[in-house]
Structure 1
Amino acid sequence: MTSPDPLHLPPLTMRWYSRPDSSAAPVVVTGAFDVLHVGHVRFLSDVRGRHSPLIVGVEDDTRVRGWKGPTRPVNPAEERAEMLAALRCVDGVFVISGPAEVADWDSYADLLRPLGMAALAFTTGDPYTEEKRRGAEALGADAWVLPLTEGRSTSAALNRLARSL
Structure 2
Amino acid sequence: MADTGTGTALSTRWFERPEGPERPAVVTGVFDVLHVGHIRFLQAIADRGLPLVVGIECDERVRAWKGPGRPVNPAEERAETIAALGCVAGSFIIDGPPGVADWSAYAEVLRPLAPAALAFTAGDRYTRAKILGAEALDALAWELPFTPGRSTTAALGRLARAL
Same fold at TM > 0.5 = yes
1:54 matched to 2:52? The reply is: yes
What residue is the counterpart of 2:79 in the other structure?
81
1:50 aligned counterpart, secondary structure: coil
Q: 1:139 aligns with which of 122, 137, 140?
A: 137
1:112 matched to 2:110? The reply is: yes
1:127 to partner: Cα distance: 1.1
1:117-136 to 2 correspondences below 5 Å: 117-136=115-134
Identity of matched residues, % = 64
What residue is the counterpart of 1:21 in the other structure?
19
RMSD: 0.7
Letter in 2 for 1:77: A
Q: How many residues align?
A: 156
1:103 matched to 2:86? The reply is: no
Unaligned runs of 5+ in 1: 1-9
1:51 to partner: Cα distance: 2.3
The answer (yes or no) to whether the contact 1:22–1:53 under 8 Å persists in 2 is no
The Cα offsets for residues 70-106 of structure 1, whole Å up to 9 and x where unpaired, read as 1100000011001001100000100000001000111
TM-score (normalizing by structure 1): 0.93
TM-score (normalizing by structure 2): 0.94
Unaligned runs of 5+ in 2: 1-7
1:22 to partner: Cα distance: 2.1
1:52 to partner: Cα distance: 1.8
